[in-house]
Amino acid sequence: MEDIEDLLIGTATGTPPGFRLPLAASVATKTNSNRRNPNQKQRTQLATATPSPIPGTQTIYIKTFGCSHNQSDSEYMAGQLSAFGYSFSDNPDQADLWLINTCTVKSPSQSAMDTIIAKGKSSNKPLVVAGCVPQGSRGLKELEGISIVGVQQIDRVVEVVEETLKGHEVRLLTRKTLPALDLPKVRKNKFVEILPINVGCLGACTYCKTKHARGHLGSYTIDSLVGRVKSVIADGVREIWLSSEDTGAYGRDIGVNLPTLLNALVAELPPDASTMLRIGMTNPPFILEHLKEIAETLRHPCVYSFLHVPVQSGSDAVLTAMNREYTVGEFRTVVDTLMELVPGMQIATDIICGFPGETDEDFEQTVNLVKEYKFSQVHISQFYPRPGTPAARMKKVPSNVVKSRSRELTNVFEAFTPYTGMEGKVERIWISDIASDGVHLVGHTKGYIQVLVIAPDHMLGTSAIVKITSCGRWSVFGEVIDTLNLNQVRTNKASSKETPNQDAPSLCCRPASVGSSLQEPESCACGNDSCCAKSTHANSDNTSSDVVPQNQNGRNFIGWVLRKRKHLLHKKFDSSELGSVKKEHGSSRKWDFIDKALLGGISFSIFIIAVVVVALSFRIWSQ
């Protein structure tokens, strides 16, 4: 069917974003009668005779692939569906409808989408596909008979879901305005707000499919972004991630620039640095003229000293073929200037191995660049030709050569030990997540270095002073020696008692892992921030996440006990540091609450057993 524009085209009335209207009354919908299942016709006739289920009573399974911008879109869609009564499940078999938010950066991501669509069709699940794949490749055979929500139509998801549940196929793709920032939102982590500052970009990279989906640059106004920041801080958010296809290009379409926006946002952050700002990915061309202003912002106490700047290749010849619009020398200028002006500055970057025409000499220049700067975070990917891009028509490097170069660069990168020397240092960290091992909490330093600590769950969303005890390849381990924001600690603890089902789910990028490289959401091959940039993972083919509010009470209690016992055990064998730990954590006491509770429980059980034995003995004797 043809793409549907706006619901109210041709009418004199309008509705606020997310407002439910009977879709059939506004636009034509197509009954989904062309499915391959032979029983579909019979089910359609039955549905006509049987009243449809009440809207808002069904369960939705949401699957998200790709970047942090996609993650934010999924959170917005989940928020609107939740506001209209829909519930969510992380078990696709228990859901009444699947909502799949897709990524078009690399072939493996789209292959994963194809797999889940095929599974949904075979399970007779109503499907709604959102994201960059349907927006950039509308004619895909895999999308036939499936409802579609475009990247600028996420505020219409409720209507599309309701019509899809009725058996209709709906496609909403074309729109000239950006979705509102104040839509309802269900965050994957209640302490982290992913804030899109613009969509699209000004580049024309020869390999990038994202431009086909996200389009030309479209920036949100400074006032709307400032208003959103005020709102999320009031909601208790502790980290704000600015997300964009190219942060540095912000505002060039509306007559402002990135430094002006950053100054306005930083002015709204709490002076105690209880809420931190993370600047998203930026390509070199658009920040060269603002390096000193950007450095000043990165030095601010409320801004992480971290920036994701993709280089993609260390060869000017390859960058020219990619149409990246900068040279390796300009990339060096960006990195060298920020490293000089910002204490503790951390730079993440991206590399594409095996771009068409890349010679051995070109690749050697890339390896030498990585060796020179020893980046702590590098996203290494093999070149994937994307249909419809100029690079797809270029002469390809043999696949075995591409894989060999990728492995070589990965080995070079993994040989670095970027955090050596941090042992014994005292750092302030901001704690926002639980590690995948269920034992550690995850915090970050001012330079966004990941620190794993053992602490109670009510410290999530707070700040602490830690002493670095050991360093791994992908993160460091620390010991809490003091807590900040004590009022917030008490508030979180009280809140966890009053509303036990409101614990925060894991981050958009997937929970932190211990002792291994963290996989991040797909970086756009053109650098689309979209990198969550927690830590880097070489050759990551595709990533995904589920946006489902999860109940973690059982895991939290057991995890807290494990963390507590492990912490006490660690202190026993490291008594030299006993004096550095505050008594409020209970780690310097021989007997804490858990020990006493366990001893009391055991004693009470023994007493009950003794009473029962005596009673039985007396009964037998009296007979």
Whether 164 shows a pLDDT value over 60: the answer reads: yes
Q: Percent of the chain beyond pLDDT 70?
A: 72
Contact between 8 and 15 (Cβ < 8 Å): yes
Of 175 and 40, the one with more pLDDT: 175
Q: What is the DSSP annotation of 259-270?
A: HHHHHHHHTTS-
Q: Tell me the C-alpha distance between 245 and 67, whole Å.
A: 9
What is the model's pLDDT at position 258? 96
Q: Tell me the C-alpha distance between 388 and 110, whole Å.
A: 14
What is the model's pLDDT at position 611? 87
- Tell me which H or E stretch contains 110: helix 107-122
Contact between 160 and 8 (Cβ < 8 Å): no
Whether 259 shows a pLDDT value over 50: the answer reads: yes
Of 507 and 247, the one with more pLDDT: 247
Of 525 and 323, the one with more pLDDT: 323
What is the model's pLDDT at position 591? 57
Whether 327 shows a pLDDT value over 50: the answer reads: yes
Give me the mean pLDDT over the 465-494 stretch. Answer: 79
Question: Which of 63-77, 108-122, 251-265 ranks highest by mean pLDDT?
Answer: 251-265
Give me the mean pLDDT over the 122-147 stretch. Answer: 82
What is the model's pLDDT at position 359? 97
Which tokens in the block code for residue 100? 């799949």
What is the model's pLDDT at position 47? 40
What is the model's pLDDT at position 183? 92
Q: Scan for tokens 């006493």, then name that residue.
A: 596
3-state secondary structure of 401: helix
The domain 425-487 having CATH identifier 2.40.50.140: the answer here is yes
Which tokens in the block code for residue 521? 């959401």
Q: Tell me the C-alpha distance between 448 and 189, whole Å.
A: 17
The domain 192-415 having CATH identifier 3.30.470.20: the answer here is no
Q: What CATH code would you report for 59-172?
A: 3.40.50.12160
Q: Which of 268, 272, 276, 330 is nearest to 298 (CA)?
A: 276
Of 164 and 583, the one with more pLDDT: 164
CA angle 234, 190, 258 (to 5 degrees): 65
CA angle 542, 543, 545 (to 5 degrees): 150
Which tokens in the block code for residue 261? 């926006």
What is the model's pLDDT at position 623? 66
Give the pLDDT band (50/70/90) at residue 485. low
Give the pLDDT band (50/70/90) at residue 574. very low
Whether 91 shows a pLDDT value over 80: the answer reads: yes
Same CATH topology for 192-415 and 425-487? no
What is the model's pLDDT at position 403? 96
Q: What is the DSSP annotation of 329-396?
A: HHHHHHHHHHHHHSTT-EEEEEEEES-TT--HHHHHHHHHHHHHH--SEEEEEE--PPTTSGGGGSPP
Residue type present at position 13: T
**pLDDT tens track for 541-572:** 444 555 444 444 444 545 555 555 555 444 44
Whether 51 shows a pLDDT value over 70: the answer reads: no
Which tokens in the block code for residue 452? 């794993």
Q: What is the DSSP letter of 518?
A: P
Give me the mean pLDDT over the 408-415 stretch. Answer: 96
Give the pLDDT band (50/70/90) at residue 26. very low
Q: Tell me the C-alpha distance between 425 and 188, whole Å.
A: 32
Give me the mean pLDDT over the 478-487 stretch. Answer: 80
Contact between 478 and 464 (Cβ < 8 Å): no
Give the pLDDT band (50/70/90) at residue 171. confident
Mean pLDDT for the chain overall: 78
Whether 506 shows a pLDDT value over 70: the answer reads: no
Whether 264 shows a pLDDT value over 70: the answer reads: yes
Q: Tell me the C-alpha distance between 389 and 136, whole Å.
A: 11
**Per-residue b or e along 76-115, where b marks 16 or more CB atoms closer than 10 Å to that residue's CB:** bbbbbbbbbebebbeebeebbbbbbbbbbbbbbbbebbbe
Give me the mean pLDDT over the 122-143 stretch. Answer: 82
Whether 400 shows a pLDDT value over 90: the answer reads: yes
Q: What is the DSSP letter of 479?
A: E
Give first-to-last CA distance, the chain, whole Å: 87
Contact between 116 and 110 (Cβ < 8 Å): no
Q: Which of 559, 335, 598 is nearest to 438 (CA)?
A: 559
Give me the mean pLDDT over the 130-157 stretch. Answer: 81
What is the model's pLDDT at position 489? 47
CA angle 135, 159, 57 (to 5 degrees): 125
Of 111 and 357, the one with more pLDDT: 357
Whether 206 shows a pLDDT value over 50: the answer reads: yes
Which tokens in the block code for residue 97? 């409808």
**Per-residue b or e along 481-503, where b marks 16 or more CB atoms closer than 10 Å to that residue's CB:** bbbbbeebbeebeeebeeeeeeb
Q: Tell me the C-alpha distance between 101 and 532, whole Å.
A: 17
Give me the mean pLDDT over the 568-592 stretch. Answer: 41
What is the model's pLDDT at position 115? 85
Which tokens in the block code for residue 319? 């960058």
Any residues with CB less than 8 A from the CB of 100 and at least 6 apart, and which?
62, 63, 65, 113, 116, 117, 120, 127, 128, 129, 130, 131
Whether 484 shows a pLDDT value over 80: the answer reads: yes
Give the pLDDT band (50/70/90) at residue 106. low
Positions of E strands within 445-562: 450-453, 463-471, 476-483, 544-546
Contact between 482 and 581 (Cβ < 8 Å): no
Give the pLDDT band (50/70/90) at residue 597. confident
Give me the mean pLDDT over the 451-469 stretch. Answer: 95
Any residues with CB less than 8 A from the CB of 186 and at least 6 apart, and which?
75, 78, 79, 82, 88, 547, 549
Of 210 and 453, the one with more pLDDT: 453
Question: Of 11-25, 80-94, 298-312, 383-397, which range is least confident?
Answer: 11-25
What is the model's pLDDT at position 311? 97
Whether 452 shows a pLDDT value over 50: the answer reads: yes
Domain range summary for the chain, segments of one domain joined by +: 59-172, 192-415, 425-487
Give the pLDDT band (50/70/90) at residue 594. low
Of 103 and 525, the one with more pLDDT: 103
Question: Of 246-255, 301-310, 517-526, which range is least confident?
Answer: 517-526
Any residues with CB less than 8 A from the CB of 89 and at least 6 apart, and which?
59, 60, 61, 95, 548
Give me the mean pLDDT over the 418-425 stretch. Answer: 94
Q: Which of 294, 220, 319 is nearest to 527 (CA)?
A: 319
Of 613 and 589, the one with more pLDDT: 613
What is the model's pLDDT at position 545? 54
Q: What is the DSSP annotation of 35-51?
A: -S-TTHHHHHHHHHHSP
Give the pLDDT band (50/70/90) at residue 469. very high
What is the model's pLDDT at position 29? 44
Q: Tell me the C-alpha distance between 331 and 322, whole Å.
A: 15
